[in-house]
């Protein structure tokens, strides 16, 4: 599958690029590290990361603990790639379980 054609960055005119995030979402970003838009987005991400509430932190910790309990059920292998795949499967399985619990 070919990458879709993206318009240049509206802020600096540099090339735009698709990138898969750690959560397997697709994001579009400017390839120019000095671009004001990229800087603003990064600054906002840092601000949001650093201003989480205690309840958000507790939810994240609880989720990580639930995922880590699932990990022994998966073959983590000996390579970093195998471990990452196992961790991803555990995360998705736990998210599915949480969705069912919420129904």
Domain boundary among 51, 72, 87: 51
Q: Which of 89, 88, 94 is nearest to 59 (CA)?
A: 94
Which tens digit of pLDDT belongs to each residue from 40-53? Answer: 666 676 676 677 67
Contacts of 48 (CB under 8 A, 6+ apart): none
| Domain with 10 in it | 1-51
Q: Are residues 64 and 25 in the same domain?
A: no
State the pLDDT confidence band at 10, using cuts at 50, 70 and 90: confident
Q: Which residues of 63-80 are buried (b: 16+ CB within 10 A; e: fewer)?
A: eeebbeebeeebeeeeee
d(CA 87, CA 74): 8
pTM of the shown model: 0.41
Domain boundary among 28, 51, 74: 51
Q: Are residues 29 and 69 in the same domain?
A: no
Q: What is the DSSP letter of 54?
A: H
Decide if pLDDT at 85 tops 80.
Answer: yes
State the pLDDT confidence band at 3, using cuts at 50, 70 and 90: low
Domain boundary among 51, 67, 90: 51
How many domains are there within the chain? 2
Q: Are residues 74 and 90 in the same domain?
A: yes
d(CA 21, CA 31): 15
């Amino acid at each position: 599958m070919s990458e879709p054609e993206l318009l240049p960055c509206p802020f600096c005119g540099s090339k735009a690029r698709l990138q898969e995030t750690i959560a397997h979402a697709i994001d579009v970003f400017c390839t120019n590290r000095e671009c004001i838009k990229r800087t603003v987005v990064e600054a906002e991400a840092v601000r949001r990361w650093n201003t989480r509430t205690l309840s958000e932190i507790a939810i994240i910790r609880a989720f990580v603990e639930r995922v880590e309990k699932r990990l022994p059920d998966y073959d983590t292998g000996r390579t970093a790639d195998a471990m990452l795949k196992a961790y991803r499967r555990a995360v998705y399985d736990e998210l599915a379980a949480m969705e069912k619990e919420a129904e």
